[in-house]
Amino acid sequence: MNYPDPIKNLIDNFASLPGIGQKTAERLVFYLLKKGEQEKMIEFGRVLANIKKITPPCPECGNVSENGRCNICSDRKRDKTTLCIVAEAQDIFYLDKTGVYNGIYHVLGGLLSTADGITIKDINTEKIMGRILRQHVREVVMGINPTVEGESTIIYLKKTLREKFPKIKITRLSRGLPMGGDLEYADEITLSSAIKNRSEI
């Protein structure tokens, strides 16, 4: 027997999310059908429908925000002369949770990747350079995963930034991170020491 269309539709929607396979999607839908409270489901739908609209990227750094500039860019206690470049906004949360880094961030929004068709044209280095100049940045930290894509992005950024700012300090997270792994999978102690022991490149 096939699922009725509305149920199949919801299952397909869940199954399109990362980490959720067909079986899990089916389980979630049948759980909602059986146990979901109408009011909570309406609220869930409302949050889902608006989440992108109400959290636009911070115009400064690309982090998620609620009202224009993000919490980190508007925090006066942050050291604006240390700039950590990350691949995705999510990485800011992993790195910042460690509490050992007090600088600011910059979200690339993707790494150089032939598979995903991301080329140097898609990496907005002008914006990074503008921030370096405006905020008198002294150190740029490559807060990027040590994957193949991560390594080529680090090499490209280092070369480009070095040409324009010959004296700026450029560092990267220390090697102890799982090779080829995402920051997401590194535990907090490993991440803390990766930032603390960052080395110049």
Instruction: Tell me whether residue 11 or residue 106 sits nearer to Zn ion (CB atom).
Output: 106
Stretch binding Zn ion (CB under 5 A), from 17-25, 54-62, 138-146, 152-160: 54-62
Smallest separation, CB 24 to Zn ion (Å): 34
Stretch binding Zn ion (CB under 5 A), from 6-14, 65-73, 125-133, 169-177: 65-73
Separation between Cα atoms, residue 167 and residue 137, nearest integer Å: 11
Contact flag: residue 92 with Zn ion (CB under 5 A):
no
Contact flag: residue 145 with Zn ion (CB under 5 A):
no
Stretch binding Zn ion (CB under 5 A), from 61-69, 88-96, 133-141, 162-170: 61-69
Stretch binding Zn ion (CB under 5 A), from 68-76, 92-100, 130-138, 152-160: 68-76
Q: Which of residues 146-185 bind Zn ion (CB under 5 A)?
A: none
Out of 11, 28, 29, 73, point to the residue binding Zn ion (CB under 5 A): 73
The size of the interface with Zn ion (CB under 5 A), counted in residues, is 6
Contact flag: residue 63 with Zn ion (CB under 5 A):
yes
Strands, E assignment, the chain: 79-86, 103-107, 139-142, 169-172, 199-200
Mapped onto helix, strand or coil, the DSSP state of residue 38 is: helix
Mapped onto helix, strand or coil, the DSSP state of residue 174 is: coil
Smallest separation, CB 201 to Zn ion (Å): 25
Phi, psi of 110 (to 5 degrees): 160, 160
Instruction: Tell me whether residue 69 or residue 162 sits nearer to Zn ion (CB atom).
Output: 69
Q: How big is the CA angle at 92 (ends 86 and 98), to the nearest 5 degrees?
A: 120
Long-range contacts of 166-170 (CB under 8 A, 24+ apart): 168/132, 168/137, 168/138, 168/139, 168/140, 169/138, 169/139, 169/140, 169/200, 170/139, 170/140, 170/142, 170/200, 170/201
Contact flag: residue 191 with Zn ion (CB under 5 A):
no
Contact flag: residue 86 with Zn ion (CB under 5 A):
no
Nearby residues of 189 by Cβ (< 8 Å), 6 or more positions away: none
Binding site for Zn ion (CB under 5 A): 58, 60-61, 63, 70, 73
